[in-house]
Amino acid sequence: MHFDSIIIGAGNGGLSAATRLATKGQKVLVLERHNVPGGCGTSFRRGRFEFEVALHQLSSMGSTEKPGDLRKLFSEYGIEDKIDWIEIESLYKVVLPSGFTCALPTNRVDAQNVLIERFPEEKANILRYYEVVYSFFDESEDFAKAQANSTGEPSDLKKFVVSKLFSKKYPTLAKYAMRSTQDVMDEFFKTKELQLCLNTYWCFMGMPPERFPFSILAKCTRIYIEDKPYYLRGGSQVISQALVESIKQHDGIVKLSCGVKQIIVKNKKAVGVIDEFGNEYTCDNVISNASPIDTYFKLLDKKDLPQSAIDQYRQYTVGISALTCFIGLDCPPDEIGFTDSFNLIYEDADCNNAFKNAYELMPTTDPLVTTCYTVDDPKVSPEGTSVITAGTLKYGKAWMELAEDEYYDTKYKACDIIIERLEKKFKGIRSHIEEIEIATPLTHMHYLHHPEGSIYGFEQDLNQSVFFFPREDQIENLTFANGWVNVCGFGPNYLYGATVADGILKGAK
């Protein structure tokens, strides 16, 4: 059977690309190894609770009156009005070991005022910082549009970025694009607590501030303030299922529990795939939602693997995974003092130093990313209950090296440490636990089939992201639509999937 496009994997980017192509009239086939679609965009049930696997805050939504890019895209897909959206009331809350806490509202002026009230001596720096963030975003958007309309080679783009013309046209972008978050924080602010109130989104990319690109932080800050953070009833699985239904409504085919065993290459072009049951499908384009590592080094016959792919990917390092406790409580969130839906809880105020513990097994000093969307919508969990996720960023290698008979004891010991740390901030939480499940990097490896259980693709640092994503396709008609070649996150990958599809549609004309 022949298709215009075959998508390997029903993750966020793959589903978005498939939906775009299907709605534009292409004959599309999506093959997914798991028995549910979504990749990270899924949920699961334990007892009477449904737990979100990965989504913290959905970006780029905007309002119905002033829709953001993602809301516009979902509207085009025909799914925007099929989902119960929940606007989150605050950006985040930072909790430091000293007892210092700071919650930022989802409004620029209000956020500035909260920070100025807490740090009056830094007022001028706070105002100047937000001006730079907004100017950076505007210049980045203008540059991205110019890049999208460019017909030059990637090498031409890199030459332009370092040219005098670039710095003249995009002064803020030129000054800050290649700098780390920590570097920029030190330029603007003397107070470490203030820095921690503003660099929070480093945890969304799995990079400590000293390695986290300021360009990603600036964009996150501006997008979440202007378009507001969102969640949805039923979790991200609702989006995944809605995309699948849209694909099917436009005569696309989605096969679950059906992974891809091999990509067929002829004359150095991808021309089809073979699924794990031996069925062969031909196509004009293959879009992989799997990692480039698995795609090139596991799904290609060795004779078809180009040396250029080996040369390109040996430069990239697999990113971090996570250790997460999914907790169902038999009480509402306010009973244990949970007042903000997204909390970043520090055990060590030096987050660059604390990040080093991500290479170790136990979550003793790692920052805790803790969410409870029952705060914003009590209907997220059964009446009188709460659903909480609390986790730390962890690299997969230490967990991969565990002996099989050590795994479960280690997992539950790590979970107990997280619960004990939560108990210090939310008194009584342990006694209210009704259901609990723990996911480790090995869990992510099992369900996502990502190398080392990576949840952010390659490390999203200054050397491997922003201007340096590995987007050069090494085999004709084989490309990628995921966080391995793009800024990670739900919103960015839905949008990037559409961009990839548009490129294929453009080439088909």
Tens digits of per-residue pLDDT, 38-74?
999 999 999 999 999 999 999 999 999 999 999 999 9
* Tokens coding 17: 């690309």
Predicted pLDDT at 277: 97
Mean pLDDT calculated for residue range 86-105:
95
What's the pLDDT tens digit per position in 349-380?
999 999 999 999 999 999 999 999 999 999 99
Distance, CA of 322 to CA of 358 (rounded, Å): 9
**Residue 51 near residue 220, CB atoms below 8 Å:** no
Do strands 230-232 and 85-87 pair parallel, antiparallel, or not at all (unpaired)?
Answer: antiparallel
What pLDDT band is residue 162 in, cutting at 50, 70 and 90? low
Mean pLDDT calculated for residue range 268-287:
98
pLDDT at 197 over 90: yes
Distance, CA of 150 to CA of 384 (rounded, Å): 55
Backbone angles phi, psi at 124, to 5 degrees: -60, -40
Distance, CA of 340 to CA of 167 (rounded, Å): 40
Mean pLDDT calculated for residue range 415-444:
97
Place of tokens 């028995």: 35
pLDDT at 164 over 90: no
Predicted pLDDT at 158: 57
Mean pLDDT calculated for residue range 93-117:
96
- Tell me the percentage of the chain whose pLDDT exceeds 70: 96
Cα of first residue to Cα of last residue in the chain, in angstroms, is 22
Predicted pLDDT at 146: 80
Distance, CA of 225 to CA of 59 (rounded, Å): 9
* Tokens coding 116: 């100025």
User: For residue 468, with 0-12 CB atoms within 10 Å meaning exposed, 13-18 middle and 19 or more buried, which class applies?
Assistant: middle
Predicted pLDDT at 157: 54
- Residues near 206 by Cβ (< 8 Å), separated by ≥ 6? 319, 320, 393, 455, 456, 459, 460, 488
Instruction: Please give the helix or strand (H or E) that residue 249 lies within, else none.
Output: helix 236-249
Region of residue 317 (left: phi > 0; alpha: psi -120 to 50; beta: else): beta
198-235 per-residue burial string, b: 16 or more CB within 10 A, e: under 16: bbbbbbbbbbbbbbbbbbbbbbbbbbbbbbbbbbbebb
What pLDDT band is residue 147 in, cutting at 50, 70 and 90? confident
Predicted pLDDT at 165: 81
Distance, CA of 505 to CA of 509 (rounded, Å): 7
Mean pLDDT of the chain: 95
- Residues near 294 by Cβ (< 8 Å), separated by ≥ 6? 449, 451
pLDDT at 150 over 70: no
What's the pLDDT tens digit per position in 313-326?
999 999 999 999 99
**Residue 264 near residue 300, CB atoms below 8 Å:** no
Place of tokens 């990313």: 369
Give the Cα-Cα-Cα angle 441, 483, 54 (nearest 5 degrees). Answer: 50
Distance, CA of 183 to CA of 135 (rounded, Å): 18
Region of residue 450 (left: phi > 0; alpha: psi -120 to 50; beta: else): beta
Predicted pLDDT at 461: 95
pLDDT at 489 over 60: yes
Predicted pLDDT at 154: 52
Q: Return the SS3 of 282.
A: strand
At residue 454, what is the residue type?
S
What's the pLDDT tens digit per position in 451-463?
999 999 999 999 9
How far is the CA of 348 from the CAs of 95, 208, 243, 337, 355, in angstroms?
10, 13, 41, 22, 9
- Tell me the percentage of the chain whose pLDDT exceeds 90: 93
Give the Cα-Cα-Cα angle 42, 459, 226 (nearest 5 degrees). Answer: 65
Which of 225, 131, 209, 127 minimizes the C-alpha distance to 175? Answer: 131
pLDDT at 403 over 70: yes
* Tokens coding 249: 């409504």
Predicted pLDDT at 160: 61
Predicted pLDDT at 166: 83
Do strands 321-329 and 433-439 pair parallel, antiparallel, or not at all (unpaired)?
Answer: antiparallel
Q: Which residue has the higher pLDDT, 144 or 248?
A: 248
Q: Which residue has the higher pLDDT, 487 or 153?
A: 487
What pLDDT band is residue 449 in, cutting at 50, 70 and 90? very high
Predicted pLDDT at 456: 95
Partners of 386 in the β-ladder? 329
**pTM to 2 decimals?**
0.94
Which of 206, 460, 489 minimizes the C-alpha distance to 355? Answer: 206
Do strands 342-345 and 368-371 pair parallel, antiparallel, or not at all (unpaired)?
Answer: antiparallel
Instruction: Please give the helix or strand (H or E) that residue 14 lies within, else none.
Output: helix 12-23
Q: What is the 3-state secondary structure (H, E, C) of 176-231?
A: HCCCEHHHHHHHHCCCHHHHHHHCHHHHHCCCCCCCCEHHHHHHHHHHHHHHCCEE
Predicted pLDDT at 419: 98
Predicted pLDDT at 467: 84
Partners of 273 in the β-ladder? 263, 281
- If one counts every other C-beta atom within 10 angstroms of the C-beta of residue 148, the result is 10
Q: Which domains does the chain have, with CATH numbers?
A: 2-41+56-85+235-316+459-508 (3.50.50.60), 105-227 (no CATH), 320-448 (3.30.519)
Question: What totals of helices (H) and strands (E) does the chain contain, helices first?
Answer: 18, 18
Predicted pLDDT at 156: 58
Predicted pLDDT at 167: 84
pLDDT at 507 over 70: yes
